[in-house]
Amino acid sequence: MRESEGHAHIAREFAALLDSLPGMVYRCRADRAWTLDYVSAGALELTGYRPDELLTGERRAYAELIVPMDRHGVEVAVEAALASGQSFTLQYRICDRYGHTKQVWERGRLLQGKGADAVLEGFITDITPLRHAEGALRQRIKQLELLHEVSSIANGDLSLDDALWLIADRIPRGYRYSPEVAARIQLTRQSYTSPHFTPGACRQCTSIEVAGRAIGEIEVCRIADSEVPADRYFLPEEQNMLRAVAGSVAALVERARIVDELRARESRTRALYECMPVATLVWQQHGDEFVLIDHNRAADALTEGRVHKAIGRTFAELVPGRPELADALQSCARSRAPARREVEFELHAGQPASYIVSLGFVSPDMVLTHVIDVIRPVREP
């Protein structure tokens, strides 16, 4: 009597253990309905049906819960495993009592019998949260990859137009339904789109702003039919991603504007420099030497076209025997203060000439010399 009570106690504890598992322990027949002979209490949370509703002769067969699209694959996989005498591990979808689709993981094996008389046992658990987490992680990785690529494009060497065309082409890659969407970057005077872009009602957009001022918009539209309702098609995380892309585009556009402005200023400065009536030579310091790196048209006229041949040569090579002038360059570079010298050269066919030379330092390592020809009568000794 005590032995039978002990067995009953063990059975109750074992049943309680099975019922506490986060899923459904089962024993079933290998028929088309997967007719259940035993299920644990976890069936209720997994399927929405009580164990007694799933058992033989009651309201629901487990096979009917398997999503029709997945049912044939499950049958084939189980039959193949039984034929080879191996256990089976499956992942598929079920639709519970309340119409919710769940991803489940199943591990089972042949307990006894063959063919239609075979009896299977196993365990099924809900892995929907895991699949959602994996999907969210994959989506986040896609978004981060897009942001990294956009940042690389924005900081690369492409022209503004080429960079914006490329960014527009890449934006859909960061979206959950990337084959179904297309993007457009709209600036004041120009649009940049990914292939097949068509404006539509189902869309996500954000403004492109520089210093609080809107300069354009990025728009992502659904371009294909979808079963997902429009109000749930785009994710909040995708909106945040699009704002980050807009920030990179704004920085790119502003940087291009600044570069264009600097180039325009440089062009204007160069034009003024070339049009100056005063001969100007630019020397760059290399250690103790000064190398001629540039000159304007007035300097070319003063030297009758010979100055361009002096580019790249040192002051000591071009003006030998005049250490006081070399000292003047050194002093100007060292003090960073302007200086003025009056010097004499025999520049043209041994004819002496006087020049007023003004020196000015230009950071970080250049000295500009302005040379004015002063005509003076030459006195015979």
Q: How far apart are CA 65 and CA 219, in angstroms?
A: 41
Quick one: pLDDT band at residue 84, thresholds 50, 70, 90? confident
Q: Which has more pLDDT, 12 or 309?
A: 309
Nearest to 186 by CA among 208, 171, 211: 208
Domain ranges, ordered by start, for the chain: 2-126, 132-271, 276-374
The tens digit of pLDDT for each residue in 257-303 reads 999 999 999 999 889 888 889 999 999 999 889 999 999 999 998 88
Give the pLDDT of residue 56: 63
**What distances in angstroms separate CA 104 from CA 47, 111, 126, 152, one per listed residue?**
10, 21, 5, 41
Quick one: pLDDT band at residue 47, thresholds 50, 70, 90? very high
Quick one: pLDDT band at residue 10, thresholds 50, 70, 90? low
Quick one: pLDDT band at residue 61, thresholds 50, 70, 90? confident
Residue pair 284/362 in contact (Cβ under 8 Å)? The answer is no
- 3-state DSSP call for residue 149? helix
* CATH code of the region 2-126: 3.30.450.20
Residue 15 clears pLDDT 80, i.e. is over it: no
Please give the angle made by the CA atoms of 14, 15 and 20, to the nearest 5 degrees. Answer: 100
CATH of the domain spanning 132-271, picked from 1.20.200.10, 3.20.20.140, 3.30.450.40, 3.40.640.10:
3.30.450.40
Q: How far apart are CA 65 and CA 73, in angstroms?
A: 14
Measured in whole angstroms, the distance separating CA 346 from the mean position of its chain's CA atoms is: 65
CATH of the domain spanning 276-374, picked from 3.90.550.10, 3.30.450.20, 3.30.230.70, 1.25.40.10:
3.30.450.20
Residue 11 clears pLDDT 60, i.e. is over it: no
| Length of the chain (residues) | 381
Share of the chain above pLDDT 70, in %: 90
The tens digit of pLDDT for each residue in 132-183 reads 899 888 889 999 999 999 999 999 999 999 999 999 999 999 999 999 999 9
The tens digit of pLDDT for each residue in 226-262 reads 888 988 999 999 999 999 999 999 999 999 999 999 9
Quick one: pLDDT band at residue 194, thresholds 50, 70, 90? very high
Quick one: pLDDT band at residue 85, thresholds 50, 70, 90? confident
Residue 14 clears pLDDT 80, i.e. is over it: no
Residue 124 clears pLDDT 60, i.e. is over it: yes
185 phi, psi to nearest 5 deg: -105, 115
Quick one: pLDDT band at residue 57, thresholds 50, 70, 90? low
Give the pLDDT of residue 344: 81
Average pLDDT of span 217-232: 92
**What distances in angstroms separate CA 137 from CA 143, 144, 199, 328, one per listed residue?**
10, 10, 29, 68
Same fold, 2-126 and 276-374: yes
| Residues contacting 230, CB < 8 A, separation 6+ | 201, 202, 222
Residue pair 186/193 in contact (Cβ under 8 Å)? The answer is no
What type of residue is 161? D
Quick one: pLDDT band at residue 373, thresholds 50, 70, 90? confident
Average pLDDT of span 57-86: 87
The DSSP secondary-structure symbol of 379 reads P
Give the pLDDT of residue 31: 84
